[in-house]
Amino acid sequence: MCARHGAAEAIVATACKIARIVYHMLKDKREYIDHGADYYKHTHQEQVLKKLKRQAAKLGVQFVPAPA
């Protein structure tokens, strides 16, 4: 975010995200659940694959991920 929009906007966006998390925690009276680094790594990988599939479709190429 910082590279695309600058440091000031990145700080505001991060503060806004933290405020939304805290608001929902207080509103729903729930504790924060940390899913761990593995969860976020897996989620990020899924997002990257989804983006690559979209880009390949725009180029008219079929995207087939290699088996792990």
- If one counts the domains in the chain, the total is 1
Q: Does the residue 64 lie in any domain?
A: no
Give the pLDDT confidence of 3-58 residue by residue, as tens digits.
Answer: 788 899 999 999 999 999 999 999 999 998 888 999 999 999 999 999 999 999 99
> Which amino acid, one-letter code, is at 4?
R
pTM of the model: 0.54
Q: Does the residue 25 lie in any domain?
A: yes
The pLDDT value given to residue 66: 82
Q: Does the residue 67 lie in any domain?
A: no
The pLDDT value given to residue 17: 94
Q: Does the residue 41 lie in any domain?
A: yes
Q: Does the residue 22 lie in any domain?
A: yes
The answer to whether residue 68 scores a pLDDT higher than 80 is no
- In angstroms, the CA 16 to CA 29 distance is 19
Q: Does the residue 65 lie in any domain?
A: no
The pLDDT value given to residue 39: 94
Query: Could you list the residue range(s) of the whole structural domain that residue 53 is in?
Result: 2-59
